[in-house]
Structure 1
């Protein structure tokens, strides 16, 4: 089991019910992990909370 398996992942409420073209996000202190919902074996992208806030426009 990898470290990312222990993270609490969630999808956006804007994700469709079909499960296509979605990302999952796990919020941790000091790091935001982002992965493709269709291929959870891939290593997630990890960014700072500041970079995530700029990406989502907050």
Structure 2
């Protein structure tokens, strides 16, 4: 069974309506969705990880703050 395709960074940014600089600030603080860094340096995000991040934001858990 094939893995579901991971979202490209541009797709994640479009969905969460965030600029790259704001995203990287969140990522530096450990508050961004879990990302996978590929050998070529590109970032990808699994759909499940992005959905979990959205749910954490909605709950306003300490992870988000």
Normalised by the shorter chain, which TM-score bucket? 0.3 to 0.5
**TM-score scaled by length of structure 2:** 0.31
Which protein has the bigger helix share? 2
Pick 1 or 2: higher relative contact order, CA cutoff 8 A, min separation 6: 2
**TM-score scaled by length of structure 1:** 0.33
